[in-house]
Amino acid sequence: MSDFDYDLFVIGGGSGGVRAARVAAAGGAKVALAEDNRMGGTCVIRGCVPKKLMVFASSYREGFSEARAYGWDVQDGEFKWPVFRDHLNKELDRLEGVYRKLLDGSGVEIFDARAKLADAHTVEVGGEKKTAKHILVATGGHPVRPDMANAHLGIVSDDIFSLDKLPEKLLIVGGGYIACEFACIMAGLGVEVTQYYRGAQILRGFDDEARGLIAEMMREQGINLHLGTNIVEMGAADADHTASWTGTDSDAAMGASARSAGDLVPEGGKGGLIWVKSTNGQEGVYDQVLFATGRSPNTRDMGLEEIGIEVGRRGEIMVDEYSQTAVPSVYAIGDVTNRVNLTPVAIREGMAFVETVFNGNPTPVDHDLIPSAVFTTPEYGTVGLTEEEAREQEEIEVYCTSFRPMQTAFAGKPWRVLMKLVVSKANRKVLGCHIVAPGAGEMIQLAGIAVKMGATKEDFDRTVAVHPTMSEEIVTMREPMRTA
Ligand code: NDP
């Protein structure tokens, strides 16, 4: 043991910080961890986990009519938000308890307090100063609202899980992961959803063909998706605004005018109605406006720049390939570094940090070919390059097929899926795999292994199909749809 209070002080109890703390402590290091919110961080408490449970909840709605097509005598049910929300809260309490137990069990000392850096080896936490040989910043990020008047009337993704009631009419602003996932979830739960995205197509940065199909399927499930559209003005709705609807969206207009004046709460936002004017000239009134307009790293008032740590334009901590900052004793991992903002990546970065710093084995994090999923309906699983990226890089062949899957086609549903491989013409390697389908998140995990191993199209072809499945198409596409 050195002259320091701890070998490692971790700031932030999310997936990355907790994993690094536990693994370092298990290796014999004296470790402390500070968290000023609930243990588990964004993923467990306000992100992936509650979101996925909401995806499951929303998926039952279609199930009723499908079941009837398969001979079941069932009626459509009614979704009771308070029942689900209370069950969800119990589950999150349980998971938080598991995280605490894991830390306790590994001998990590927990500070339930905000911590900030005082110098290269000192952390201020709960009014005390604690020293550590190494400090790991894993404080994550937070959702941001656009810089416009009355934006505080809208909610952000953190607020969804504790809503008193589900909105009847919801406007979602944004076209990224969070916007599209919640548009599908809320539509599935019976909410009337309008979505504004300022760009030409949702899910910027993903494969164009996949984006197109997801947008089509979102509209098919009743989401009122407006592209090239943004809010220009918003405020608490008053009787004038609800009465003077000027939009062309007749459903929305009916919804607004159908309310009695007694329903109006002038404050708007959390409980009141919100009036919105958009760039397409329409006005609308919504129970809630959800801003899914991106996330920012949690680096404010942490004493970072004061001690020489470089912070980037978006507020992210600048690190090298070993997650080390400009101050050699301070490392940073996860969303606070704004590299690849995904939980499993933060966990990898945490493990690589421990390997580098405590096991004497410098380990850079491999950020290449990371499979991921967007939990829209249908889901989108992706690994590797998009067709557009690959085309810029080299000559390619594109193998793809889009079809109505057996299970829902039998029930007369319009849902379509997409299976797509982007293949290098020169060395036949599969450069990218894109799947839009129910369960695509599960499928892409496995396809990701093959792509990461450098599998060629011929390796895929040599694999016998599992029949009848949707994913068998991934090994049975014989002719390229196009070359580029
Ligand atoms: P994204 O950055 O993915 O999307 C933000 C969206 O908001 C974009 O469509 C952006 O438009 C739009 N936007 C930004 N500013 C404004 C503005 N002022 N007015 C109108 N629109 C605006 O952020 P998310 O919040 O959706 O997700 C954050 C991160 O969380 C993701 O990058 C991902 O790493 C992670 N995540 C992962 C999930 C998963 O793995 N399934 C699920 C949820 C989140 P434009 O495209 O024009 O910039």
Residue 146 counted as domain residue: no
Residue 118 counted as domain residue: yes
Atom of ligand 1 nearest to the CA of 144: 25
Shared-domain flag, residues 132 and 167: no
In the predicted structure, residue 474 carries a pLDDT above the cut 90: yes
pLDDT at 238: 79
Shared-domain flag, residues 314 and 253: no
Shared-domain flag, residues 172 and 259: yes
From atom 9 of ligand 1, which residue's Cα is the shortest distance away?
A: 175
Domain final residue pick, 241, 258, 291: 291
Shared-domain flag, residues 129 and 18: yes
How much is the mean pLDDT over the chain?
A: 93
- HSE-up of 248 (CA within 13 Å, CB side)? 4
Domain final residue pick, 255, 272, 291: 291
From atom 23 of ligand 1, which residue's Cα is the shortest distance away?
A: 294
Find the 178 Cα to ligand 1 centroid distance in Å. Answer: 6
Higher-pLDDT residue of 133 and 254 is 133
Question: What SS3 state is found at 123?
Answer: strand
pLDDT at 61: 95
Pick from 11, 314, 342: nearest CA to 144: 314
From atom 42 of ligand 1, which residue's Cα is the shortest distance away?
A: 177
Residue 367 counted as domain residue: no
Higher-pLDDT residue of 292 and 2 is 292
User: Strand 31-34 relative to strand 430-437: parallel, antiparallel, unpaired?
Assistant: unpaired
- What confidence tens digit (pLDDT) does each residue in 409-447 have? 999 999 999 999 999 999 999 999 999 999 999 999 999
Residue 1 counted as domain residue: no
Residue 362 counted as domain residue: no
Confidence band, pLDDT 50/70/90 cuts, at residue 175:
very high
C-beta of residue 391 within 8 angstroms of C-beta of residue 432 = no
Find the 297 Cα to ligand 1 centroid distance in Å. Answer: 13
Domain final residue pick, 260, 291, 322: 291
Atom of ligand 1 nearest to the CA of 175: 9
What would the mean pLDDT of 354-376 be, rounded to a whole number? 97
Atom of ligand 1 nearest to the CA of 342: 34
C-beta of residue 170 within 8 angstroms of C-beta of residue 194 = yes
In the predicted structure, residue 158 carries a pLDDT above the cut 60: yes
What would the mean pLDDT of 284-290 be, rounded to a whole number? 97
Shared-domain flag, residues 465 and 394: yes
Q: Report, as residue numbers or ranges, the catalytic residues.
A: 467
Shared-domain flag, residues 281 and 314: no
Find the 141 Cα to ligand 1 centroid distance in Å. Answer: 12
What would the mean pLDDT of 266-291 be, rounded to a whole number? 83
Pick from 286, 313, 281: nearest CA to 150: 286
Residue 24 counted as domain residue: yes
Confidence band, pLDDT 50/70/90 cuts, at residue 2:
confident
What would the mean pLDDT of 291-312 be, rounded to a whole number? 98
Report the C-alpha gap between 77 and 83 in whole angstroms.
Answer: 14
What would the mean pLDDT of 282-309 be, rounded to a whole number? 97
Residue 220 counted as domain residue: yes
Shared-domain flag, residues 410 and 476: yes
What is the CATH classification number for the domain harbouring 397? 3.30.390.30
Ligand 1 pocket, Cβ-based, cut-off 6 angstroms: 146, 173-179, 181, 197-199, 204, 230, 292-295, 341-342, 372-375
Percent of the chain past pLDDT 90, that is, above it, reads: 92
45-54 CB burial, b ≥16 within 10 A, e <16:
bbbbbbbbbb
Shared-domain flag, residues 466 and 340: no
Q: What is the DSSP letter of 344?
A: H
- What confidence tens digit (pLDDT) does each residue in 192-206 have? 999 999 999 999 999
Report the C-alpha gap between 64 and 55 in whole angstroms.
Answer: 16
Q: Would you call the peptide bond into 378 cis, given omega within 30 degrees of 0 as the criterion? A: yes
Find the 173 Cα to ligand 1 centroid distance in Å. Answer: 10
Ligand 1 pocket mutation, candidates 159, 218, 295, criterion most atoms within 8 A of CB: 295
Shared-domain flag, residues 136 and 177: no
Shared-domain flag, residues 381 and 438: yes
Find the 89 Cα to ligand 1 centroid distance in Å. Answer: 25
Radius of gyration of the CA atoms of the chain, in A: 24
From atom 38 of ligand 1, which residue's Cα is the shortest distance away?
A: 177
Higher-pLDDT residue of 258 and 118 is 118
What would the mean pLDDT of 137-141 be, rounded to a whole number? 98
What is the CATH classification number for the domain harbouring 185? 3.50.50.60
Shared-domain flag, residues 284 and 300: no
Non-local (6+) Cβ contacts of 68 within 8 A are: 74
Find the 58 Cα to ligand 1 centroid distance in Å. Answer: 21
In the predicted structure, residue 80 carries a pLDDT above the cut 90: yes
Count of domains for the chain:
3
Q: Provide the residue range defining the domain that includes 281.
A: 151-291
Atom of ligand 1 nearest to the CA of 157: 25
Shared-domain flag, residues 285 and 332: no
Q: Which helix H or strand E contains 33, and what residues bound it?
A: strand 31-34
Residue 205 counted as domain residue: yes
